[in-house]
Structure 1
Amino acid sequence: MDTNPLKKNEYIQKRAQNIGLTMIVMGGSFFLYYLGLFGNVEGPLTPGNIGESLAGMGVTKIHMLIFFLSFFIIAMTWNHIFNLVSYIIGSRLTCIKKNDEGNICGASTEKIKIKNTENTKEIVKFKCIKGHKCSDASFHPVKKGVISHTVWVTALVFCAIILYCS
C-alpha cells in the first residue's frame, strides 16, 4: 500500500481540476440553454430564430450546403496539404543515421542543397543538429485525431441533413 502524501495530493488536485472543468462546461451549457440554443426556451439562439435571421440576410439552403461542403472538404484534406507543404520545404524530418551502438540518431534535420561540381546539378542532402549528413531522412506526417475526424463527420452529417430537407 502506497502512503506517499504527494500521490494523495496529486489525486485531490486532479479531482479538483475535473470538478472545475465540469462546472465551467455546465455554466456554458446553462448560458446556451437560456439563450434558446437547445430549442426548449425562447431566445435569440432558438433554431427557428436563427433560421429567420439567416433567411432575412438572404442565406439559402444552397449557401448552407456550399458552406458545409467546403468545410467538409477542408476538414478532410487539411493534414494532407500540411504534410505536402512540410515535405516540400523540408520540415518534420529526423536523422536516420545509426550511431556506434546501432541506434538511430533521431535528431531534427534540415534539408540542404549541394551543387555537384562535375555536372552543376544540385544534390539534396540532410544535415541534423548533431552534425550528421545523410542522403535520406525520416519524415513524420501529421495524422488526424479524434477531434479532426469528429469535425469532418459533423460537416458531412450537416450536408446530408441539408440535402434531405431540401
Structure 2
Amino acid sequence: MMTLRNTVIAFFLILAAIVVTKTGTGDTPRTTSGGGSGSGGRVVCSVSPQRPAEKDGRIVAATQFRCDSPGPDGLTVTVHLQRSDGGGWTTVAKDTFVSNSVNTTREKSAESRTRRVSAACAGGTFRTLVEASVYDDKRSTPLSKVSGERRNPC
C-alpha cells in the first residue's frame, strides 16, 4: 500500500526527471532533426552568429555552428553580412557552406566550424544573418538567427 509520503516522493522524483530531460542550454536557437548517419536518434544543431567586426580593412560577418555527435547527414549554412538601409536590411555579402557528420561536431575545432564573409569597410549599421538547413534521415529542418548590430565597425 502506497502512503501519502511515498506518493509525494514519487511525484517529485518524476518531476525532477522531467525537468532534467527537458532543460535546454542557453538561448541559442536549436533545431532537432532525425537520426544522423542512419542512427535512428536525434541530432541537435545550433548556429551562433557573431556581430560584424573589422579585420584587415574589411567588415567581417562570421558564424559558428555545432551539432550533436554523430552529426547530421548534411548541414548547409548561409552567412549574410547585412547593412541597415533605413527601413530594412540589405545583404552586402553572402556565401553558402556545406558540411556533414563529424565535421559539424565538437570533435572538430571551433575554428573549423566557423564560416565568414566580408565586404570593404563602409559606414553604417551592420549585422550577421545566418540561415541553415539540417539534412538528416531524409528530412530537412531550417533554422536562422541574427547577431546583434554594430555601427561603423571600421
- The two structures have a TM-score, normalised by structure 1, of 0.26
What TM-score do you get using the length of structure 2 for normalisation? 0.27
Larger RCO (CA under 8 A, 6+ residues apart): 2
Structure with larger Rg:
1
| Greater helix content | 1
Higher strand share goes to which structure?
A: 2
